[in-house]
Amino acid sequence: MLTQSLLALIGFVGWTVLLLLVLAALRTGVVLSGRKKAHEFAPDGADVSPFSNRLCRAHANCLETLPLFASLILVAHVTGQGSVTDPLAMWFLLARIGQTVAHLIAANHIMAQIRFAFFVVQVVFMIIWGVQLVTG
């Protein structure tokens, strides 16, 4: 049975894959236009455009957080403690999407603060879950 937590995990994976597809489409366009060869891209995307750089970082941010989120969700599920993560799981996903969107919009002081706020929400949720899963 798909719980709210498992749906949020699937959503997080889907969001990460979507960012990868956007990045692949962007790079494919650059290659097809003859501006770069497929093997010439910098890993951080800065050699294409500021947006490409933000997209690469946003995707990397998802890859950095996904294993932590997935581990907590799966521990909750396997141990029958889904009630710990279910109430906040979709809010976590929304905070992740908010962080990514803020990252993609611009790289300025205000957007960095917004990104950080969304990040803090995610970290706080993971700390709460971790403590509750261990003590529950």
pLDDT at 1: 87
pLDDT digits (tens, 9 = 90+) for 1-18: 899 999 999 999 999 999
Q: What percent of the chain has pLDDT over 90?
A: 98
Q: How far apart are CA 126 and CA 119, in angstroms?
A: 11
Q: Structure pTM?
A: 0.94
Q: Where are the domains of the chain?
A: 4-135
Helix, strand or coil, per DSSP, at residue 128: helix
Average model confidence (pLDDT) for the chain?
A: 97
Helix, strand or coil, per DSSP, at residue 51: helix
What CATH number belongs to 4-135? 1.20.120.550
Please say if the pLDDT value at position 136 is more than 90.
no
Provide mean pLDDT across the span 22-44: 95
Angle (CA) 121-1-69 rounded to 5° is 25
